Structure 1
Amino acid sequence: MDRFLKIVNAKVITSQGIVNEGVVTVKNGLIESVGNKNIDIEGAVEIDAAGLYLSPGFIDLHIHGGGGADFMDGTAEAFLTIAQTHARYGTTAMYPTTLTSEKKDLLETLQVFERANKRNDNGAQLMGMHLEGPYFSMSQRGAQDPRYIRNPDPAEYKEVVAASASIKRWSSAPELEGAVEMGRFLRSRGILPAIAHTDAIYEEVAEAFENGYTLATHFYSGMSGVMRRNGYRYAGVIESGYLINEMDVEVIADGVHLPAPLLKLIYKIKGADHIALITDAMRAAGMPEGDSILGGMETGLKVVVDKGVAWLPDRSSFAGSVATADRLVRNIINLAEVSLTDAVKMISLTPARIMGIDSHKGSIAVGKDADLVLFDEDIQIRKTIVKGNIVYSSDNR
C-alpha cells in the first residue's frame, strides 16, 4: 500500500526562498510535490501547519550524545536514545561521533552502530560514524582524554576502516607524522578527513586540504590561531580556514563556544554555503544540569553542566556542549544576525553537501527524502518527520 502525507498552510523554506501558504505532498517517504496548490489525495494523512514554518530536517554532522546516553556507551539502546532525544529538537539525520579511545573501543562502537541502525525507526536517522581522534595534537586536546592520544598508525586505521563500511568521516590533526597519507587513504575509501584538535600552521593545512582534509571540525575550538615560533609569526588553522575559500567549517552555535562577534565574522567570510552548524552534544543534552560524563560510562571523563555549559571539573575546558539543533538555529539568527533561510541552510543543505548526501537530503525538493520539521517563529519544534514518518509531535498527534 502506498503511504501518503500532505502538509498544508505552511511557510515552506525552500532553496529558492519561502513559499507562503505552501503545500508539500509525500509519497512513500519521498517528496512528491511542493507548491501552493492543495491537491486532493485519497487516504493521505493531512497536517494543517496553521502558518508554521516547514523546514528541511536538521542534519548534525558532529554529535556525541543526549538524553543521558553517549555513543561510546557500547549499547544499541544508547544510540536509539540519542536518536530519539534529538529528534524532539528537529534533528532528522546525524553522524554519531566517537572520542579518543583504544582501537578495541572504536571497533566495538562500529559494531554497535550497525546493530542499532537496524532497529532505529523512531528517531533521527543514523547516517554513518564520525571518528573523532585519537590522532590529535596533545596541546590542543581540549576534553579529549590524553591517555589515548597518539600519532596516525597505518596498520591501526586501515584495520578500523576495513572493519566497517559505516565510517563516513574521521577527524585528525593534519600536522602529525603520517596524517597526510592517512587523508589520501581515507579519501580513496570514500571517507571524509577533517581537521581537528590541531596546532598546524597554514602551510600544513594547505597541504592537508590538497590531500582531502576539506572540513575544519568545530571551528575555533581545539585549533591554532596566529602563533610565534622563533620570533616569526605564522598563520594557524583558523586563518587557514578563512584563506582557503573552499574549506568548509563546523560551528558550535550554542552561544557558549563562540561569542556573537566571532559568529558574525565566520558568517561574513565563509557564508552559509561553507558553514555547517553542529551541536557537538554530549550525554547531558536534553537532561537536567549537574554531574555528567563525557564518553563511555566506564571510561569517560567527569563533566559538570552548569548554566547551559558542559565543563571539565577544573573548568579548564568545555566538554562538548548540551546544545540541541533548534538552539543552534535560534542563536545563529539572533547572535549573528543571519536570515532564517541561511540559518536553515547551514543545518540542512550545507551539511548534506559536505557529506555527499545532498542528492536525497538537505532541502525540500521533489524526489528527496521527506525529512521535515515544523516550527514556530521562535524555532520551537512542533513536529519532526523522518522519511515521511512522524517521529516527534509536540501535541502527540
Structure 2
Amino acid sequence: MNERPLKICHANIITPHRIIPNGCLLIQGTSIAAVAAHDIEITDADIIDAAGKYVAPGFIDIHVHGGGGFDFMDATEEAFLAIAETHARYGTTALSPTTLTGTQQHLLHTLEVYEQANKNNHKGASFIGMHLEGPYFSINQRGAQDPRYIRNPDPKEYMDVVSRSTAVKRWSAAPELPGAIAFGQYLRAHNILVSLAHTDAIYEEVLEAYENGYTLATHLYSSMLGVTRRNAIRYAGAVEAAFLLDGMDVEIIADGIHLPAPLLKLVYKIKGADKTALITDAMRAAGTNHTESVLGHPETGLKVIIEDGVAKLPDRSSFAGSIATADQLVRNMITLADVPLADAVKMMSLTPATIMGIANKKGLLAPGKDADIVIFDKDITIHNTIIMGNPVYNRPAGIA
C-alpha cells in the first residue's frame, strides 16, 4: 500500500455522467479520498501529472482464462499471478479467473490454488472470485470446450464444489439440460451468479431459466442459438431471449472478430451500456506474440493456433478464446461501434462491477471507492494502472 497520499492532476476524469476537464483526484491509502474539478491542495503527496490524459475507473474483466503464456487451468500460483500482472499492464484492475470444462478433481484443485494466489496477489489485477465455465454444456454448442468432460448438472458434484469453496462467485451452464433449473436455484440460494452459456436453449427455455436465476448471458452470440427451426417451426433462440428480457445482462467479446462491428452496434443499441459488460475471454496467448498455444492445461488441454488476431482450433472449425486485452475492447467499442467514450468505459468498469455485486466498492471514481484507476491517452493506450492505491504499471518512456 502507498503510505503517502497520491494526487493525480491535470486529468480528464471520466465519470458515468460526464468527463471533468482538468480535474484532480486524491488517493489516501487504498481508497479514493476526493474527486474535484479544481486542484486539490495537499502537502507531502506523490503526484502524477496526467497532462490531459483520461483518468478512468480501472477495467473489470469478469471472464478471462489466461494471458502472458499462462492459463488458470494450469492450477499453479505462478500462473494465477502472472495472468493478473499481464492484464494489469492493459488497464485491468480486477478480474474473475475463469475455468474450462474439466474433471471434478482438477476443478477442486484450481479452487484451492485460487485461495493461495489471492493472498499473494500484490502486483496484478485483483481477483474478485472464480467463474466456472462448464462442464454443464450442450455438446452441440461446445465450441472449444473439451467434449470429454461435458455432462449434465449433477447435484452431488456441484453441491460438493460449493461446500468446499467460497471462491466461486459465478457459474455458466446450459439451462435446457436435465437438472439445470434446480442447479440455478441452488446457486442463487448460495449467492452465486448463474449465467447461460454454450446452449441450445430457445426463448421459452431461457425465460424459465431467467425466472430461476440465470440473469446473465455468457459471451452473447458465441456458442448459443439465434433463430432456429424445429419441425419447420421457427423459434427465437437464446440470443433473442437475451434481447427481449430487459432484466438480463449480457457480456460480449468485443475484439471485433468474435463479434464484428454491426453486432457490436446492435448489442449496444438494444441492451445499452448499463446491461452490457465487455469481456476479453482471453486465453494464455493474450499479451504474447505466440502463433501456437494450448487452451486449458498445458498437458491435457486443446492445441490451438493464433491467427487473424484470435485463437482457433487447428482445423479452424471454431474460435478457441480471444487474445484481446481490456484496452482493445474499449478502443473497439469507440472505433467500431461508435460508442461514446464514457459508455465504453462504463461497460468495462461500472457495469461488470454491478453484475458481480461489487459496485459498492469498484467501477466508479468517487470518494470512498477502491482506488482502482487507469490512465490512458486518446488512443486508449494505457500509461498507468493503479490497484487499491498501489501503482503497479507505468508505461516506460520512449515506447511508441
Calculate the TM-score normalised by the size of structure 1: 0.99
User: Aligned residue pairs: how many?
Assistant: 397
- Matched with 2:40 is 39
The 5 Å alignment of 1:65-80 reads 65-80=66-81
Equivalent-residue separation in structure 1 for 2:222 and 2:17 (angstroms) = 33
CA, structure 1 residues 49+289, in 2 after alignment: closer, same or farther (shift >3 Å)?
Answer: same
Measured after TM superposition, the shift of residue 38 of structure 1 is 1.7
2:346 aligned with 1:345, yes or no?
yes
Equivalent-residue separation in structure 2 for 1:85 and 1:143 (angstroms) = 23
- Matched with 2:290 is 289
Q: What does the per-residue CA deviation read over 1:205-252, in whole Å, with 9 as the maximum and x for residues that have no partner?
A: 001101110000000000011111111111100000111011100110
Measured after TM superposition, the shift of residue 2 of structure 1 is 4.9
Amino acid at match of 1:318: F
Given that residues 22 and 38 in structure 2 are in contact (C-alpha distance below 8 angstroms), is that contact kept between their aligned partners in structure 1? no
Q: What does the per-residue CA deviation read over 1:136-159, in whole Å, with 9 as the maximum and x for residues that have no partner?
A: 000000000000000000000000
The 5 Å alignment of 1:242-281 reads 242-281=243-282
Q: What does the per-residue CA deviation read over 1:336-386, in whole Å, with 9 as the maximum and x for residues that have no partner?
A: 100000000000000000000000000101110010000000000000000
Equivalent-residue separation in structure 2 for 1:121 and 1:178 (angstroms) = 40
Equivalent-residue separation in structure 1 for 2:290 and 2:73 (angstroms) = 21
Judge which range, 35-44 or 355-364, deviates more: 35-44
Equivalent-residue separation in structure 2 for 1:106 and 1:41 (angstroms) = 49
Judge which range, 138-147 or 40-49, deviates more: 40-49
Q: Secondary structure at the match of 1:320?
A: strand
- Matched with 1:5 is 6
The 5 Å alignment of 1:195-206 reads 195-206=196-207
Amino acid at match of 2:136: Y
Measured after TM superposition, the shift of residue 15 of structure 1 is 1.7
Amino acid at match of 2:32: I
- Matched with 1:180 is 181
Amino acid at match of 1:112: V
Equivalent-residue separation in structure 1 for 2:128 and 2:240 (angstroms) = 31
Equivalent-residue separation in structure 2 for 1:382 and 1:40 (angstroms) = 24
Equivalent-residue separation in structure 2 for 1:23 and 1:39 (angstroms) = 6
Equivalent-residue separation in structure 2 for 1:256 and 1:343 (angstroms) = 17
Measured after TM superposition, the shift of residue 45 of structure 1 is 1.1
Q: What 5-or-longer segments of structure 2 have no aligned partner?
A: none
- Matched with 1:355 is 356
Given that residues 103 and 156 in structure 1 are in contact (C-alpha distance below 8 angstroms), is that contact kept between their aligned partners in structure 2? yes
Q: Secondary structure at the match of 1:109?
A: helix
Q: Secondary structure at the match of 2:19?
A: strand
Equivalent-residue separation in structure 1 for 2:315 and 2:166 (angstroms) = 38
- Matched with 2:369 is 368
Q: What 5-or-longer segments of structure 1 have no aligned partner?
A: none
Equivalent-residue separation in structure 2 for 1:39 and 1:133 (angstroms) = 49
Q: Secondary structure at the match of 2:289?
A: coil
Question: Identical aligned pairs, as a percentage?
Answer: 64
The alignment's C-alpha RMSD in Å is: 1.1
Given that residues 289 and 307 in structure 1 are in contact (C-alpha distance below 8 angstroms), is that contact kept between their aligned partners in structure 2? no
Q: What does the per-residue CA deviation read over 1:34-63, in whole Å, with 9 as the maximum and x for residues that have no partner?
A: 012322222211100000000100000100
Equivalent-residue separation in structure 2 for 1:289 and 1:71 (angstroms) = 18
